[in-house]
A and B are shown apart, each in its own frame.
Chain A
Amino acid sequence: SYELIQPPSVSVSPGQTASITCSGDKLGDKYSSWYQQKPGQSPVLVIYQDAKRPSGIPERFSGSNSGNTVTLTISGTQAMDEADYYCQAWDSGTAWFGGGTKLTVL
Chain B
Amino acid sequence: QITLKESGPTLVKPTQTLTLTCSFSGFSLSTSGVGVGWIRQPPGKALEWLALIYWDDDKRYSPSLKSRLSITRDTSRNQVVLTMTNMYPVDTATYYCAHSLTTVTTRFDYWGQGTLVTVPS
Binding site for B on A (CB under 8 A): 1, 30-31, 33, 35, 37, 42-45, 48-49, 54, 86, 88, 90, 93-100
Contact = CB atoms under 8 A, between A and B. Distances in A.
B26 interface: no
Interface residues of B, number: 23
Nearest to B114: A42
Chain A interface, >50% SS class: strand
Given A35-B47, A94-B49, A100-B46, A45 B109 contact: yes
Contacts of A48: 105, 107, 109
> What 5 A-B pairs are tightest by C-beta distance, nearest first?
A95-B49, A31-B105, A48-B107, A42-B111, A97-B47
Nearest to B105: A31
Contacts, number: 59
B16 interface: no
A86 B62 CA distance: 18
Interface of B: 37, 39, 46-49, 52, 60, 62-64, 96, 103-109, 111-114
Contacts of B111: 42-44
13 contacts: A30-B105, A33-B107, A35-B47, A42-B96, A42-B111, A42-B114, A45-B107, A48-B109, A94-B60, A95-B49, A95-B52, A96-B49, A97-B46
